[in-house]
Structure 1
Amino acid sequence: MFDLDLWREIFQSINKNKTRAALSGFTVAFAIMLFTILFGIANGLENTFEKFFLTTADNALTIRSGTTSKPYKGLQIGRLITYANKDLDYLKKEFGDKIQYITPKLSRTYQLKYKKRKGEYTITGVSPDHQYLEKAVIIKGRFINERDVKNKDKVIAIGRLVEKDLFVKESALGKYIDLEGVVYKVVGVFSDNGGDEQERTIYTGYTTIQRLYLATDEIGSITIGYNPNMSADQALVLVQEITAKLKSRYDVAPNDQRAVRIGNRILQEKKRLDNMTTGLGILIPIIGFGTLIAGILGISNIMIFIVKERTKEIGIRKALGASPRSIVSIILLESILITAFAGYVGLLIGVGVLEAIGSSIERYWITNPSVKPSIVYTATIVLVIAGAIAGFLPAKKASKIKPIVALRNG
């Protein structure tokens, strides 16, 4: 049951001892504020890493054609190494579950026309896996599927801005586009976080490009998505293995760096950022919990001092007939009230600081620094519990002192 008199006494005690209450509150508020800011900055760094890999899958590697720079097995330098459809099957067979996705990529720029509107756009031949590697999000219809590739169908998935340019307010789904005399059916519209260029791209099956424009099964480049369960180091080893296999397959000297090229810049960046994330994942909790422990020690010391300071008051209360339980309750509830209120104030200040500095610290690789309220609430609860325990032990001891002794010591 709510005891109005008890709470009146607590607020009177706080009002009479403003300096003591302010000191206790400051310790808690500062600890929670610092805790909030540290975790907010850590989340900002993680947001930056996610943004870095937003436009393309972070497990993507691109295998590009090249020219030999060294003679090998009687073959001259300057040979152009180009890949074909059979290389897709070869890589799937050789590396099995190490490869999650694989797609060729054949790009050409053509003029597209719908009714009286026209424009030049890049049309790219891919496999269905490309949707996941490019992180294309289907808005309407579907992406290119296996049947389209097998049948070499004249169907396309177009970017959101292509629909906006050529169809204006019409829906492009199911409509037909003239691509320099060849008519394609629009089966899907997609969006892409890669920007306007990506959203002005058109995808069709790679076999369709080969049949209509190349009359060959050659492919420009191959993009693979390695198994996401692999670490960055394991993925780098995979790059070396693929490179060695393709060099052997096309009679390229092992030390020839130009003939078989695998773009792994993102992978190298990912490894570096993974190391940074791991380091931060260890460092930030240590600093955060260190701050929390400092706050716990601070509030504990203050509570011990407060109880000692209130020895005379405790003696008077006992002389007037107060029970040990009521004495302990007053001290504990006062401690919990101050700690909870100060913790909330610290949270507000910490969040306010993060919002104030949010845009100004993006140059330091910190994007949208923020913290989940649940984490800070948990930290505040820990401080409340710590303050309660710190106050309970000396309060319990003081409540057992005889009134005459308490008055003399006070």
Structure 2
Amino acid sequence: MFDLDRWREIFQSISKNKLRSILSGFTVAFAILLFTLLFGIGNGLQNTFKNEFAKDAINSIYIWPNSTTKAYKGHQIGRRIQFTNDDFNFLKEKYSDKIQMISPRLQRSVKVVYKTEEDNYTLRGVYPKYDILESAEVTEGRFLNIRDIKEKSKVVVIGRMVEKDLFGQISAYGKQLNIGGIMYKVIGVFSDPGGDGDERFIYTPFSTMQQIYGNNDHVDEFGMTYNPELSIDEAIAFSSQMHRELKKKHEIDPNDQRGIRVHNYASENKEVTGMMVGLSILILIIGFGTLIAGVVGISNIMVYIVKERTKELGIRKAIGATPGAIVSMIMLEAILITAISGYFGLILGVGILEVTGPSLEKYFILNPGVSTPVVVGATITLILAGMIAGYLPAKRAAQIKPIVALRAD
């Protein structure tokens, strides 16, 4: 394997037959290049789907009231549905085994002032653990707790961009904010995978906001996460059941789809999962089809190479070369060409993905790339194919008698 003279012969053979070496290498490099690009684009599409779901917990359900579109039980068309604390208690008690967490929500646009800095933001009144629903991460301080709800504390948790806008480089933790003319204490700062827009929200205890903005028991909407032990189909059935029960409670026609709206991420997750599986299978089929084409190309070229070198092999046998030495020489040459060309195709493919990656975002392809194990596996597959492609014709050539090989044209 590490015989210096043998490697010299291999490199001399490659250098003397540049065209066939280049053709062999091009076949391998092109196959790996296409394989890398296909998997990179496929992964980019999957990253786009994952990024969209990262904005909220994947087991999220949102419920909000709307206006009815059908008359029902003496109620007129266009009746505005209003949720209350009673609906919150109803959902908690009836579906306690299927709800992981639930929070009512109030939302208002407010003017926020800190010393000389001011801007408008969205203030949300929520319950503890609402940060889980939004996939937010508290980076400083803490999120709201049940004590804040009970005491109706005037405290807020602000997004990273709110802190940046109003406080610049200093920490907002522990500072006082004037929100709509009322002073609140900042008890936490959060980041959100949804981006800058989701980091310009301000969270305060639901009970505090309910008292200050209306002094009533109104609720704008509900956000919840369902029990993760539920399957996707069970989660969809669960949200449909809640939808029917809330319609019944508010006397809405069962066929009225707008009186109360429900957005269940499980439905989207089911569709997207199906699309991603289909996309993965399609990419695998095309990718392996490309590899098979590369294997066939290598095989054909190696058969031609061995046939072209029949007389040379005959001379080698005539001067004492063993069949094993001839076979190993051709196999090593095939492996060397395949490995170098495969690596070149891999580097080229990764480079193209790196350069074109940012411009592909407008086509919903986010961070296209390939995992090292996948590409290494594809390269090893081609190297093995090169070994097989070199071994079979080399073995036949090694079995030819020297006198027959010397007569070959």
Equivalenced residue count is 409
Of 74-83 and 35-44, deviating more is 74-83
C-alpha distance in structure 1 between counterparts of 2:13 and 2:382, whole Å: 21
Superimposed CA distance per residue, residues 124-143 of structure 1 (whole angstroms, 9 cap, x where no aligned partner): 11122321222222221111
Q: Percent identity?
A: 55
Of 331-340 and 147-156, deviating more is 147-156
Matched-pair contact (CA < 8 Å) for 1:324–1:396: yes
C-alpha distance in structure 2 between counterparts of 1:196 and 1:3, whole Å: 61
TM-score by length of 1: 0.89
Distance change in 2, residues 1:115/1:18 (3 Å): closer
C-alpha distance in structure 2 between counterparts of 1:363 and 1:196, whole Å: 19
Correspondence 1:108-119 to 2 at 5 A: 108-119=108-119
C-alpha distance in structure 1 between counterparts of 2:361 and 2:179, whole Å: 43
Note the C-alpha offset of 1:85: 2.9
C-alpha distance in structure 2 between counterparts of 1:229 and 1:111, whole Å: 42
1:350 is matched with 349
C-alpha distance in structure 1 between counterparts of 2:166 and 2:375, whole Å: 51
Distance change in 2, residues 1:117/1:287 (3 Å): closer
C-alpha distance in structure 2 between counterparts of 1:301 and 1:197, whole Å: 57
2:337 is matched with 338
Matched AA of 2:245: K
- In the alignment, structure 1 residue 121 sits paired with structure 2 residue 121: yes
Correspondence 1:81-120 to 2 at 5 A: 81-96=81-96, 98-120=98-120
1:280 is matched with 279
Of 320-329 and 71-80, deviating more is 71-80
Matched-pair contact (CA < 8 Å) for 1:28–1:339: yes
Distance change in 2, residues 1:273/1:118 (3 Å): same
Measured on the aligned residues, the alpha-carbon RMSD in Å equals 2.6
Of 380-389 and 141-150, deviating more is 141-150
Note the C-alpha offset of 1:377: 1.7
Q: SS of the counterpart of 1:107? A: strand
- In the alignment, structure 1 residue 317 sits paired with structure 2 residue 278: no
Q: SS of the counterpart of 2:213? A: helix
1:22 is matched with 22
Q: SS of the counterpart of 1:171? A: coil
Matched AA of 1:203: Y
1:406 is matched with 405
Q: Which runs of 5+ in 1 are unaligned?
A: none
2:225 is matched with 225
C-alpha distance in structure 1 between counterparts of 2:165 and 2:37, whole Å: 45
Q: SS of the counterpart of 2:404? A: helix
Matched AA of 1:311: T
2:164 is matched with 164
TM-score by length of 2: 0.90
C-alpha distance in structure 1 between counterparts of 2:229 and 2:348, whole Å: 40
Distance change in 2, residues 1:301/1:71 (3 Å): same
Note the C-alpha offset of 1:42: 0.6
Distance change in 2, residues 1:292/1:99 (3 Å): farther
Matched AA of 1:63: I
Superimposed CA distance per residue, residues 336-388 of structure 1 (whole angstroms, 9 cap, x where no aligned partner): 00000111121122223334443444343223322223322211111111111
Matched AA of 2:327: V
Matched AA of 1:393: L
- In the alignment, structure 1 residue 41 sits paired with structure 2 residue 41: yes
C-alpha distance in structure 2 between counterparts of 1:78 and 1:12, whole Å: 87
C-alpha distance in structure 2 between counterparts of 1:114 and 1:194, whole Å: 25
Q: SS of the counterpart of 2:187? A: strand
2:3 is matched with 3
Q: Which runs of 5+ in 2 are unaligned?
A: none
Note the C-alpha offset of 1:271: 4.8
Of 102-111 and 29-38, deviating more is 102-111
1:389 is matched with 388
C-alpha distance in structure 1 between counterparts of 2:371 and 2:193, whole Å: 25
Matched AA of 1:336: I
Note the C-alpha offset of 1:73: 3.5
1:327 is matched with 326
Note the C-alpha offset of 1:59: 3.8
Distance change in 2, residues 1:219/1:317 (3 Å): same
Matched AA of 1:399: A
Matched AA of 2:176: Y
C-alpha distance in structure 2 between counterparts of 1:170 and 1:353, whole Å: 41
C-alpha distance in structure 2 between counterparts of 1:356 and 1:167, whole Å: 37
Of 318-327 and 390-399, deviating more is 390-399
1:32 is matched with 32
Note the C-alpha offset of 1:37: 1.1
1:135 is matched with 135
Distance change in 2, residues 1:247/1:326 (3 Å): same
Note the C-alpha offset of 1:21: 1.2
C-alpha distance in structure 2 between counterparts of 1:180 and 1:105, whole Å: 18
Matched-pair contact (CA < 8 Å) for 1:69–1:78: yes
Distance change in 2, residues 1:182/1:366 (3 Å): closer
Distance change in 2, residues 1:391/1:164 (3 Å): closer
Matched-pair contact (CA < 8 Å) for 1:207–1:217: no
Q: SS of the counterpart of 1:135? A: coil
Note the C-alpha offset of 1:81: 2.4
Note the C-alpha offset of 1:14: 0.9
C-alpha distance in structure 2 between counterparts of 1:21 and 1:211, whole Å: 80
Note the C-alpha offset of 1:116: 4.8
Matched AA of 1:66: N
2:250 is matched with 250
C-alpha distance in structure 1 between counterparts of 2:74 and 2:103, whole Å: 33
C-alpha distance in structure 1 between counterparts of 2:6 and 2:179, whole Å: 83
C-alpha distance in structure 1 between counterparts of 2:197 and 2:300, whole Å: 61
C-alpha distance in structure 1 between counterparts of 2:191 and 2:19, whole Å: 59
C-alpha distance in structure 1 between counterparts of 2:314 and 2:58, whole Å: 68
